[in-house]
């Protein structure tokens, strides 16, 4: 089977890549087909965004005159006589309405007109009298003359070709392709009565673009009737209000780009639709038709307004569902469209949105599938959560700041699917490796090494690599004489307790056990897993080990057991870390001079009278820890001096000189402008008189009396 040996875990198998690539291709193909479930999920996300962030209502001169239940109760059931509609139009015009749009289909003669009633009566005098009365439709037509009134029409399909009457507008197309091919097409239309159309200033289709779930999310500005573009009610109201005759449709290869109505250019979808951004309920947007007819409406509510006459009465069957999960009168959709066009507030799904979503979806599925295959479930889950947060956060920010509609729902579903598939395959493959890995566990001791091996089984091979690590080297003094003094079985038990407690501390700071050397312990940090704070971990580990070892020794000494002290050396540097040995058996360890230096630092504690020696290389990578400067040590076999300190916590405060006094005396020994060997000797002599048992004071005073003039300590013994 083809395998990429440099890649970890499952990713090293060619079949894993084929599986992820196949899933990515499948999801992308499904996205391009855009089936109804995916479209529904996308629209559900857009609806939820509108619920979270509805449009802030800004008053604009748009008003809805509502033929509500109260109006029907006060003035009679629908349909009303056309003379009442004429009175409504006249009253609205008298109140200063700029345009009056009737969201009503007046395609049949009024059945309450005198002529229609005369045909029902058989009494000649009565019928003659009725015949002389004015026709209701004619009354409405005369009332509309000279007034800006827009009537409604209805387009449909499957009823045969429909002829176009003389229309009061003209549609001009500009672009590489004819926009008619992008508009929602119809082949039949129901127009208002000819007499009414002749008196109206405009006529617009009442059609909506409802999605498969019946929710009105978009309002078309243009529709297509037998190859001819015709406007909808909201577009026609805006045209009449501006006193213009032309519509300008601009299109590209991707569809309609925008619709220009007078001085306003409205960006649309490819089908010349306007996305509606709903507001919270605004009762002030509506005025009852009964109040208008009674003349009880304040003039400022109608003066200069674009007035839409519609109905919220349930019996008139014009209630629609909106994204906010509410029922609304159909006329409200036209009112919202007019509000958005007048205020310049547009929700848009940019032309590049689908392309961006396809790229995010394909790459996201590919990358997350590979992460799930190659990483642990926790790490891959963290990546999934981070990606989902970024995806939804970006979509939400685009909606709030740019009023852009970007799909995060379908890519999220695909990412979760990719994560589930990748994690499942990863788990299945990992289970197959467990039996093989168990044979390798016996070669490793430290838990962090075992965890690293489980995560990176490909590293179970001979060889090493350069890495900067920190080392802690410990040794127990007086152990050999102790073996001769008491029962070896008891000594071994005490030693095991000691080593077990020391290892607990090592593993607490995630150190790696390099090896045991009798009663000595060698610990390394930053291998096999790189630890940026390995110096701090090593120092903290050494301090806690010293605290335990000191307490353990005192407890045994109090029982009469001559348990020795523990000396510790801490150093860091670049070493070779890896597996060394043979194919049958090998060991994981570090090789290099820094580990030898750590061992030498442990050993020099005996000559210095200290318990812990820490090199400056380690201290440079640590936060402030109270230290006492020992000096610059030239270790056996070395030519360069190594700055070394000892933690104050490991010294007996009762025997040692105060830190400020000691530091001041050491400053006179160190290179610099304050260097003065004679003054240093005087300072150490003065401190030694008060603190004769301070080991470092005694060491430096002895050196100064022997002719030393600086802080360099040359050590000739191991």
pLDDT (tens digit per residue) in 616-675? 999 999 988 899 999 999 998 888 899 999 999 999 988 999 999 999 999 999 988 889
Confidence bin at 105 (pLDDT 50/70/90) = very high
Same domain assignment for residues 366 and 328? no
Question: What share of residues in the chain are helix, strand, coil (percent, to 5)?
Answer: 45, 20, 30
User: How many Cβ atoms are within 10 Å of 686's Cβ, its own excluded?
Assistant: 13
Distance CA 511, CA 177 (A): 70
297-351: pLDDT as tens digits: 998 999 999 999 999 988 777 889 999 989 999 999 999 999 999 999 999 988 8
Same domain assignment for residues 549 and 647? yes
Asked whether the beta carbons of 651 and 694 are under 8 A apart, the reply is no
Give percent of the chain above pLDDT 90: 52
8-state DSSP, 57: P
446: in domain: no
4: in domain: no
Asked whether the beta carbons of 642 and 615 are under 8 A apart, the reply is yes
Same domain assignment for residues 77 and 215? yes
Confidence bin at 455 (pLDDT 50/70/90) = low
Same domain assignment for residues 668 and 629? no
Average per-residue pLDDT in the chain? 84
Same domain assignment for residues 33 and 139? no
Same domain assignment for residues 201 and 336? yes
Asked whether the beta carbons of 395 and 406 are under 8 A apart, the reply is yes
Same domain assignment for residues 660 and 647? no
Encoded tokens for 457: 């089984």
Identify the burial level of 434 via C-beta atoms within 10 angstroms of its C-beta, where 0-12 means exposed, 13-18 middle and 19 or more buried. Answer: exposed
Q: Which residues contact 190 (CB under 8 A, 6 or more apart)?
A: 105, 107, 153, 154, 155, 156
Distance CA 639, CA 457 (A): 42
**pTM of this structure:** 0.60
501: in domain: yes
Domain count along the chain: 4
Q: Which residues contact 102 (CB under 8 A, 6 or more apart)?
A: 85, 89, 149, 150, 151, 152, 309
392: in domain: yes
371: in domain: yes
- Sign of the alpha-carbon dihedral angle for 442, 447, 449, 451: positive
Last residue of a domain, one of 595, 630, 651: 651
Question: H or E element: which one contains 652?
Answer: none
- 3-state secondary structure labels for all residues of 188-256: EEECCCHHHHHHCCEEEECCCEECCCCEEEEEECEEEECCEEEEEHHHHHHHHHHCCCEEEEEEECCEE
Distance CA 462, CA 96 (A): 93
Same domain assignment for residues 508 and 542? yes
Same domain assignment for residues 263 and 294? yes
15: in domain: yes
8-state DSSP, 472: E
560: in domain: yes
Q: Could you tell me which residue, 346 or 513, shows the higher pLDDT?
A: 346
Same domain assignment for residues 430 and 498? no
Distance CA 240, CA 227 (A): 23
Encoded tokens for 607: 């000559």
Distance CA 217, CA 46 (A): 9
Distance CA 487, CA 256 (A): 97
Average pLDDT over residues 264-273: 93
Distance CA 382, CA 366 (A): 16
Average pLDDT over residues 249-264: 91
Distance CA 669, CA 665 (A): 7
Confidence bin at 11 (pLDDT 50/70/90) = very low
Phi and psi at residue 280, to the nearest 5°: -65, 165
Confidence bin at 7 (pLDDT 50/70/90) = very low
Asked whether the beta carbons of 63 and 393 are under 8 A apart, the reply is no
Task: Please report, for the chain, how many H helices and E strands are present, in that order.
Answer: 23, 28
Last residue of a domain, one of 290, 314, 343: 343
3-state secondary structure of 580: strand
pLDDT at 441: 47
- Residue 510 zone, left/alpha/beta (φ > 0; ψ -120 to 50; rest): left
Same domain assignment for residues 670 and 608? no
445 pLDDT above the threshold of 50: no
Segments in 515-654 forming alpha helices (H): 534-558, 593-608, 616-619
pLDDT at 484: 76
Confidence bin at 1 (pLDDT 50/70/90) = very low
Q: Which domain holds residue 579?
A: 459-651
pLDDT at 26: 62
Distance CA 533, CA 629 (A): 22
Last residue of a domain, one of 293, 310, 343: 343
């Amino acid at each position: 089977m083809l395998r990429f040996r440099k890649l970890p875990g499952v990713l090293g198998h060619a079949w894993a890549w084929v599986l992820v690539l196949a899933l990515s291709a499948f999801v992308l193909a499904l996205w391009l087909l855009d089936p109804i479930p995916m479209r529904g999920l996308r629209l559900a996300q857009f609806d939820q965004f509108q619920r979270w962030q509805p449009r802030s209502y800004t008053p604009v001169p748009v008003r809805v005159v509502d033929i509500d239940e109260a109006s029907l109760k006060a003035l009679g059931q629908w349909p009303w006589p056309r003379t009442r509609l004429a009175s409504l139009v006249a009253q609205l015009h008298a109140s200063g309405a700029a345009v009056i749009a009737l969201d009503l289909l007046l395609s049949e003669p009024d059945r309450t007109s005198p002529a229609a009633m005369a045909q029902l009566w058989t009494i000649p005098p009565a019928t003659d009298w009725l015949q002389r009365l004015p026709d209701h439709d004619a009354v409405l037509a005369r009332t509309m003359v000279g007034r800006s009134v827009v009537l409604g029409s209805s387009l449909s399909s499957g009823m045969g070709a429909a002829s176009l009457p003389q229309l009061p507008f003209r549609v001009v197309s500009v672009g590489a392709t004819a926009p008619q091919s992008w508009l929602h097409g119809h082949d039949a239309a129901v127009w208002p009565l000819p007499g009414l159309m002749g008196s109206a200033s405009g006529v617009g289709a009442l059609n909506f673009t409802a999605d498969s779930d019946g929710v009105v999310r978009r309002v078309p500005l243009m529709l297509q009737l037998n190859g001819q573009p015709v406007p909808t009610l909201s577009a026609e109201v805006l045209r009449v209000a501006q006193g213009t005759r032309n519509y300008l449709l601009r299109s590209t290869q991707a569809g309609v780009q925008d619709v220009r109505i007078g001085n306003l250019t409205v960006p649309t979808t490819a089908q010349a639709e306007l996305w509606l951004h709903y507001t919270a309920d605004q009762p002030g947007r509506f005025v009852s038709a009964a109040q208008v007819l009674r003349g009880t409406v304040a003039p400022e509510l109608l003066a200069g307004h674009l007035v839409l006459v519609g109905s919220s009465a349930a019996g008139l069957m014009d209630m629609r569902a909106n994204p906010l999960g509410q029922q609304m009168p159909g006329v409200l959709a036209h009112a919202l469209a007019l509000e958005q066009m007048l205020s310049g507030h547009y929700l848009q799904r940019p032309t590049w949105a689908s392309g961006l979503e396809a790229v995010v979806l394909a790459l996201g599925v590919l990358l997350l599938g590979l992460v799930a295959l190659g990483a642990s479930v926790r790490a891959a889950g963290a990546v999934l959560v981070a990606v989902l947060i970024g995806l939804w956060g970006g979509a939400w920010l685009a909606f709030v700041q740019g009023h852009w509609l970007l799909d995060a729902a379908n890519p999220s579903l695909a990412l979760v699917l990719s994560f589930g598939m990748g994690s499942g395959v990863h788990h299945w493959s990992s289970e197959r490796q467990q039996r093989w890995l168990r044979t390798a566990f016996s070669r490793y001791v430290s838990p962090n090494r075992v965890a690293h091996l489980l995560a990176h089984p490909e590293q179970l091979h001979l060889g090493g690599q350069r890495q900067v690590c920190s080392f802690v080297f410990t040794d127990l003094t007086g152990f050999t004489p102790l073996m001769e003094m008491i029962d070896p079985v008891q000594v071994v038990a005490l030693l095991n307790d000691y080593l077990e407690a020391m290892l607990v501390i090592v593993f607490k700071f995630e150190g790696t056990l390099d090896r045991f050397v009798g009663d000595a312990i060698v610990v390394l940090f930053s291998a096999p897993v790189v630890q940026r704070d390995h110096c701090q971990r090593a120092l903290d580990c050494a301090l806690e080990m010293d605290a335990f070892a000191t307490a353990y020794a005192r407890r045994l000494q109090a029982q009469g057991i001559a348990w020795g002290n523990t000396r510790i050396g801490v150093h860091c540097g670049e070493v070779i870390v890896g597996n060394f040995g043979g194919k049958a058996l090998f060991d994981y360890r570090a090789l290099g001079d820094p580990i030898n230096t750590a061992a030498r630092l442990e050993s020099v504690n005996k000559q210095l009278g200290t318990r812990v020696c820490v090199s400056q290389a380690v201290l440079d990578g640590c936060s402030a820890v109270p230290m006492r400067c020992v000096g610059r040590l030239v270790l056996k076999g070395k030519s360069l001096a190594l700055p070394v300190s000892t933690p104050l916590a490991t010294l007996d405060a009762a025997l040692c000189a105060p830190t400020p006094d000691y530091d001041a005396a050491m400053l006179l020994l160190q290179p610099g402008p304050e260097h003065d060997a004679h003054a240093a000797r005087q300072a150490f002599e003065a401190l030694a008189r008060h603190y004769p048992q301070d080991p470092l004071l005694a060491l430096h005073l002895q050196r100064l009396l022997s002719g030393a003039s600086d802080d360099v300590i040359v050590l000739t013994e191991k």
